Amino acid sequence: MGPFDALIHLANFFMPALAMALLLPSLARLVWWRKLRPVGWGLMARRVGLTGVAVLVAGLVLIGRDGAMATYAALVLASALVLWWTAFKGRA
């Protein structure tokens, strides 16, 4: 495997976390736009993204392979929890 292939594999590994980090805050701001006005989109996206990366790496370490459904379920739950905490409880 060459360096370009390794880069593609690494990008594909982190893509679910990046997709969640972009989609969840955007959809949350569309639905709860008045309540989320004081909370920045970047803050929500950053926290969801970092949490998603941590969950994917933990799933790879614990399960031993990438792409396990348990890892993706944990990614969805952790992302939703972090978004809820940032948007409605933490506020900073």
How far apart are alpha carbons 65 and 86 in whole angstroms?
30
How far apart are alpha carbons 41 and 28 in whole angstroms?
9
Q: Which residue has the higher pLDDT, 39 or 74?
A: 74
pLDDT at residue 92 greater than cutoff 70: no
Q: pLDDT band for position 14 (50/70/90)?
A: very high
Residue 82's CB: how many other CB atoms inside 10 A?
22
Question: What's the pLDDT tens digit per position in 45-89?
Answer: 999 999 999 999 999 999 998 888 999 999 999 999 999 998 888
**Residue 14 near residue 53 (C-beta atoms within 8 A):** yes
**Residue 87 near residue 32 (C-beta atoms within 8 A):** yes
Q: What is the mean pLDDT of the chain?
A: 91
**Residue 78 near residue 55 (C-beta atoms within 8 A):** yes
